[in-house]
Amino acid sequence: MVGTLTAERAQAEVSSAIGVLRRRHWLPVTVGYILALVVVTVLWARAQPPVQGRIIAETSTNLDNLLHGRLSTLLSSAFVVGDTSLAMTAVPLMACVLALLELRFGSLRTAWTFLAGHVGATLLVAVGLWVGMARHWVPETTRIAEDVGVSYGGMALVGSLIVIVPKRQRIPWAAVWAAMAAQDVWTDRDFTSCGHFLACCIGLSIGVLMIRRGVRSEHRMNWADMLALLAAAGLAISFLMD
């Protein structure tokens, strides 16, 4: 009897997931973004070094581009990984996290969370670098430093998943990732690490706001939740250990 109930429950969860998938129109955010990432990564890997350098320079959200009004880099930078080995790890994990978030919370909220982390952390880092250079705390060469990739948006997604963590594990979840990101700042002492920490905090804030608004009701975790958390953990580690 127990085995029958378990099988029926598993079948019900799968049917529910399929139903949600159909209602989400096959995950437009996940499919569109991951497909674009794959295409850009393949083209970038096949390009000659001078072309790769030009792509990085034109899409980087460094101070030089931002201060010259190239605000389009705030979006274009999220489509260039710039490291093929990292892309092979990060892109599949990003696909899992995006898909499960989009299934659970919808396309708009998923896109908003990613963009809030990517754009928000980028701008906060830019302000910090601008102040640092004005006070001669940061080398002037930082103005043209490379700054592309999916890591800021990815870290925001990781932080936002606090909303699906069981209530008793929410503080540990937030503490672990915030501490790891802060340790990365202390160890590497670069602006990218600061961006990871800020993006994680943005994601955590969004998750807490969702909890307070009752976006997710309390219930037992299912297989999709567990997969999302495992994929998020792998994604965060791939960024912080890179």
Task: Report, as an integer, the average pLDDT of 14-19.
Answer: 51
37 has a pLDDT exceeding 70: yes
CA atoms of 138 and 168, how far apart (whole Å): 41
CA atoms of 200 and 193, how far apart (whole Å): 11
Give the rounded distance of the alpha carbon of 184 from its chain centre.
Answer: 16
Q: Which pLDDT score is estimated for 146?
A: 84
> Confidence band (pLDDT; 50, 70, 90) for 5?
very low
Mean pLDDT, the chain, as a whole number?
Answer: 85
Q: Residues 6 or more apart from 37 whose CB is under 8 A from it?
A: 79, 81, 87, 91, 94, 150
pLDDT tens column, 72-110: 999 999 998 877 778 888 899 999 999 988 988 889 999
Return contacts of 208-214, CB within 8 angstroms, 24+ apart.
208/162, 210/105, 210/109, 210/160, 210/163, 211/162, 211/163, 211/170
Q: Which pLDDT score is estimated for 97?
A: 92
Task: Report, as an integer, the average pLDDT of 171-178.
Answer: 92
CA atoms of 198 and 204, how far apart (whole Å): 10
> Confidence band (pLDDT; 50, 70, 90) for 8?
low
Lowest mean pLDDT among 21-35, 88-102, 154-168: 21-35
Q: Which pLDDT score is estimated for 149?
A: 87
CA atoms of 199 and 122, how far apart (whole Å): 9
> Confidence band (pLDDT; 50, 70, 90) for 4?
very low
pLDDT tens column, 188-225: 888 899 999 999 999 999 999 998 887 765 556 677 78
Q: How much is the CA Rg of the chain, to the nearest whole Å?
A: 19
Higher-confidence residue of 2 and 237: namely 237
Give the residue numbers spanning the domain of 81.
Answer: 2-240
- Are 64 and 143 within 8 A, CB to CB? yes
Give the rounded distance of the alpha carbon of 218 from its chain centre.
Answer: 25
The two structure tokens encoding residue 226: 């567990």
Percent of the chain exceeding pLDDT 70 equals 87
> Tokens 């139903």 label which residue?
19
Phi and psi, residue 224, nearest 5°? -65, -40
CA-closest candidate to residue 225, choices 213, 238, 216: 216
Q: Which pLDDT score is estimated for 2?
A: 45
58 has a pLDDT exceeding 60: yes
Lowest mean pLDDT among 4-13, 42-51, 116-125, 131-140: 4-13
- Are 242 and 181 within 8 A, CB to CB? no
151 has a pLDDT exceeding 50: yes
Higher-confidence residue of 117 and 215: namely 117
Q: How many domains does the chain have?
A: 1
CA atoms of 80 and 191, how far apart (whole Å): 18
CA atoms of 189 and 128, how far apart (whole Å): 13
Higher-confidence residue of 9 and 205: namely 205
